[in-house]
Amino acid sequence: MKLKDKVAIVTGAASGIGKQIAIRFAKEGAKVAVSDLNIKGAEETVAEIKANGGIAFAIKTDVASEADIQALVDTTVKNYGTVDILVNNAGIMDNMEPAGDIEDRNWERIIAVNTTSVMRSTRKVLPIFLEKGKGVIINVASIGGLFGARAGAAYTASKYAVIGFTKNTGYMYALKGIRCNAIAPGAVMTNIGASMTGINEFGMSRQQTGMATNPRAADPAEIAGVAVFLASDDASFVNGAVITADGGWTAY
């Protein structure tokens, strides 16, 4: 078991990539805090983990809320004594809007969920990691944070920011035993599209240009395998990196 006796927090773990990361971490021996705004889905993830002999608990978290982030980490420490691994996976899409069509409320919500939450949760766990002299942070970014033609302007900006934050954090704490890396998935079969409230026709028409070059969509479990690697000692010398997992889409 690669994560035996580790304690992991996984946000957005009710479905998709987050769910598969939580399940894989538990199979590798970690105790998992399954965090999501969808508490019913989080509880279903926990039930699956426990059915396979793993250890987990569910907690309702709105990652856009500072109070909820505080409660997530504090509750995990109360239940399991510490935190060893933080996976910032929760995220939402935009509606493919180009810059000229962005409304402030949509921009602010996307940045709050996709970017500010990553900063806040990282800030919250760092004292724990610094005291122990070790810890792992994994941020689920996107190839939309590496290229400009995978989403609208707000989502793209939010994921570019996550990648920059990842690199800065990895460098800043490299001498403190703390690693911070990001995964940049391509198309993945999840329900994140449900967070879209109405497609911007112009924005979508521009994005469609490169969609046909995508070889395929991934199963969320394929991204979870990358997360297990980054969380484990197998990745002890991987820090401040962005692992692209897109089936070769951006190789075109």
- The domain locations on the chain are 7-251
Output the CATH code of domain 7-251.
Answer: 3.40.50.720
Could you report the per-residue pLDDT of 170-225, keeping only the tens digit for each?
999 999 999 999 999 999 998 776 667 788 999 888 888 888 899 999 999 999 99
Residue 238: left if φ>0, alpha if ψ -120 to 50, beta else—which one? Answer: beta
| The residue to which tokens 């998992």 are assigned | 32
155 among known catalytic residues:
yes
How far apart CA 93 and CA 4 sit, in angstroms, is 34
Could you report the per-residue pLDDT of 65-124, keeping only the tens digit for each?
999 999 999 999 999 999 999 999 999 999 999 999 999 999 999 999 999 999 999 999
Among the listed residues 80, 155, 160, 173, the single catalytic one is 155
What is the dihedral sign for C-alpha 99, 104, 108, 114?
Answer: negative
